[in-house]
Amino acid sequence: MKKIKTLFFCQNCGHQSTKWLGKCPSCQQWNQFVEEEIRSSDPGARLELQLNELPQSIAAITADEKDRMTTGIAELDRVLGGGIVGGSAVLVGGDPGIGKSTLLLQMLQNLAENGSKVLYISGEESAKQIKLRGKRIGAASPNLLILVEIALESMIQHIKSLAPQAVVIDSIQTVYSSALSSAPGSVGQVREASAQLILLSKKTGIPVFLVGHVTKDGSIAGPKVLEHMVDTVLYFEGDSGHAYRIIRGMKNRFGPTNEIGVFEMRDNGLQEVSNPSAFFLSERPEGAAGSVVVPSMEGTRPILIEIQSLASPTNFGMPRRTAIGVDHNRVSLLVAVMDKICGLHLSNHDIFINVAGGVKVDEPAIDLGIVSSLASSFLDRPVDAKTVVFGEVGLTGEVRGISQMDIRIKEAARMGFNRCILPKTLARDVSVGSKMNLIKISNLRELLAHLF
Ligand code: TYD
Ligand code: MG
């Protein structure tokens, strides 16, 4: 009898081990190892997946930016880097109920309306349920085909025979390959299914969209390798308790990363927000202490965001530090710098920082915004409502230059701001229209002198 080979896989990160382990040495998670059968190399099955291509000169290969297919949703095109690339694999991740299925169905409907034949494969919902969602978002094109299926082999058959212009698999965790005995959603199955689907897409040039579920800590359930295998990874940010949805390109082989698309969930599906700066500032309490606006670069686009801080005296010995949307460690560092350099003794204060609108900002330019809003809350003095600030803060309290200052200032001017506090650098001089009052500073002491 043929011996069945098994290995233990971490269900969180895909780490493999020959024996069971309590704690994963790779991702440090407990109790994640599950025994799975590993597939003996079946040459027949593998051969079919070969791309059968010959080496060719790069000069002879033709590729054009125009080959991209537009999704009909400008914000989605933006995160994809300008539209869908043929033969690409896109992973769309996000919390349950955030709108993954809705967005992809809307996209397919748009493609179908423009005359493409498209296929939506669902393993989670019945055809009737999909129809009901389709009714809300107005998806009724005869070119939009729905297939309820979880068997990988059958999916591949249908994709090959239909040859659609785009395929959505909702979700990759429900796909089951009969070649493996492990359950759908396990590391082995997810890896096998995605490998086969990605190869099929490369071979046929059909773009595939894989919906991926997200674990508690916010990463795609199943192996991390899935993210390496696909060309583009898109994540939904924001929470389902609010109407806004932000979709961010975490990885993109065909465009800039960290680009965001902003949507609003309405009763007829996801609607694009074409002016995100106005959207994020729409509920700003003007003239309140602790609120500061920063022009932040999200991918290639500047977006004005509001940073809010609250510093209040600690009741118990241990002060609390809570940061939502910005890096926790960065905040601790800035608090220490403010304490030492500016004499703002925040050490016995609870500190809460939040980026309004649920965006996550991960760039040094917001340092000055964090410091300004903290100082404003601590001193209980509001920052002028028509002022924006940006710049990186160093450990000695110096303010450093950052990238694309002109674009940021232009966006602030467009939104009606008239004063900007920015780093004084010789390296990159800013040249913008006269309307903006530019205040160039080189350290935090100067910041406090100009801020209020
Ligand atoms: P869904 O796309 O099913 O989320 P996911 O696939 O990421 O799990 O979105 C479901 C949520 O969206 C649900 O809470 C209802 C809401 N929704 C609307 O508010 N308006 C709509 O038009 C649709 C289709 C859904
Ligand atoms: Mg869904």
Residue 219 predicted with pLDDT over 70: no
Regarding whether 217 and 360 lie in a shared domain, the answer is no
Residue 250 predicted with pLDDT over 80: yes
DSSP 276-337: HHHHHTTT--TT-TTEEEEEEEETTEEEEEEEEEEEEE-SSSS--EEEESS-HHHHHHHHHH
Query: Of the residues 76, 91, 92, 102, which should be mutated to test ligand 1's pocket, given the most ligand atoms within 8 Å of the CB?
Result: 102
Position 183 confidence tier, pLDDT thresholds 50, 70, 90 = confident
Q: Cα–Cα distance between 42 and 115 in angstroms, integer?
A: 39
What would the pLDDT profile of 341-392 be if each residue is shown by its tens digit? 989 999 889 999 999 887 889 899 999 999 999 999 999 999 999 999 999 9
Regarding whether 103 and 132 lie in a shared domain, the answer is yes
Residue 91 predicted with pLDDT over 90: yes
Q: Cα–Cα distance between 151 and 148 in angstroms, integer?
A: 10
According to the model, what pLDDT value does residue 434 have? 62
Regarding whether 377 and 306 lie in a shared domain, the answer is yes
pLDDT > 70 in the chain, percent = 91
Q: Cα–Cα distance between 414 and 171 in angstroms, integer?
A: 41
Q: Which residues line ligand 1 (CB under 6 A)?
A: 94, 96-102, 133, 136-137, 265, 267-269
Q: Cα–Cα distance between 329 and 55 in angstroms, integer?
A: 49
The verdict on residue 56 lying in a domain is no
- The enclosing H or E element of 122 equals strand 118-122
* Cis bond upstream, residue 116 (ω within 30): no
- CATH code of 218's domain: 3.40.50.300
The verdict on residue 52 lying in a domain is no
Regarding whether 297 and 217 lie in a shared domain, the answer is no
Name which of 28-37, 68-77, 237-246, 314-323 the model is least confident about.
237-246
Domain end position, chosen among 274, 305, 337: 274
Residue 433 predicted with pLDDT over 50: yes
DSSP state of 341: I
Q: Whose C-alpha lies nearest to ligand 1, atom 2?
A: 99
Q: Cβ neighbours of residue 35 under 8 Å, at least 6 residues apart?
A: 6, 7, 8, 20
Average pLDDT on 309-318 reads 90
Question: Which residues, listed in sequence order, are joined to residue 271 by a DSSP beta bridge?
Answer: 264
Residue 239 predicted with pLDDT over 80: no
The verdict on residue 154 lying in a domain is yes
Regarding whether 301 and 163 lie in a shared domain, the answer is no
Regarding whether 393 and 269 lie in a shared domain, the answer is no
pTM of the model: 0.84
CA of 295 to the centre of ligand 1 (A): 31
Regarding whether 231 and 135 lie in a shared domain, the answer is yes
Q: Cα–Cα distance between 397 and 191 in angstroms, integer?
A: 48
Position 43 confidence tier, pLDDT thresholds 50, 70, 90 = very low
Domain end position, chosen among 274, 299, 330: 274
* Residue predicted with more confidence, 65 or 236: 236
Regarding whether 111 and 180 lie in a shared domain, the answer is yes
What is the rounded average pLDDT for all residues in the chain? 88
Residue 415: CB atoms within 10 A of its CB come to 17
Q: Cα–Cα distance between 243 and 205 in angstroms, integer?
A: 35
- The enclosing H or E element of 93 equals strand 89-94
Regarding whether 284 and 239 lie in a shared domain, the answer is no
Q: Whose C-alpha lies nearest to ligand 1, atom 14?
A: 97
The verdict on residue 311 lying in a domain is yes
- CATH code of 398's domain: 3.30.230.10
Regarding whether 243 and 120 lie in a shared domain, the answer is yes
Query: For residue 102, which ligand has an atom nearest its CA?
Result: 1
The atom number, within ligand 1, closest to the CA of 211 reads: 6
Number of domains the chain contains: 3
* Residue predicted with more confidence, 407 or 43: 407
The atom number, within ligand 1, closest to the CA of 102 reads: 2
Residue with tokens 């608090």: 335
Average pLDDT on 232-240 reads 83
Q: Cα–Cα distance between 343 and 326 in angstroms, integer?
A: 23
Beta strands in 182-252 (DSSP E): 208-213, 232-237, 244-252
Query: For residue 94, which ligand has an atom nearest its CA?
Result: 1
The verdict on residue 60 lying in a domain is no
DSSP state of 66: G
Regarding whether 230 and 306 lie in a shared domain, the answer is no
The verdict on residue 106 lying in a domain is yes
CA of 4 to the centre of ligand 2 (A): 35
Q: Which domain holds residue 208?
A: 70-274
Regarding whether 287 and 421 lie in a shared domain, the answer is yes
Domain end position, chosen among 274, 297, 331: 274
Residue 51 predicted with pLDDT over 70: no
Q: Cα–Cα distance between 392 and 151 in angstroms, integer?
A: 51
Name which of 213-217, 219-223, 263-267, 269-273 the model is least confident about.
219-223
According to the model, what pLDDT value does residue 27 have? 81
Q: Whose C-alpha lies nearest to ligand 1, atom 8?
A: 97
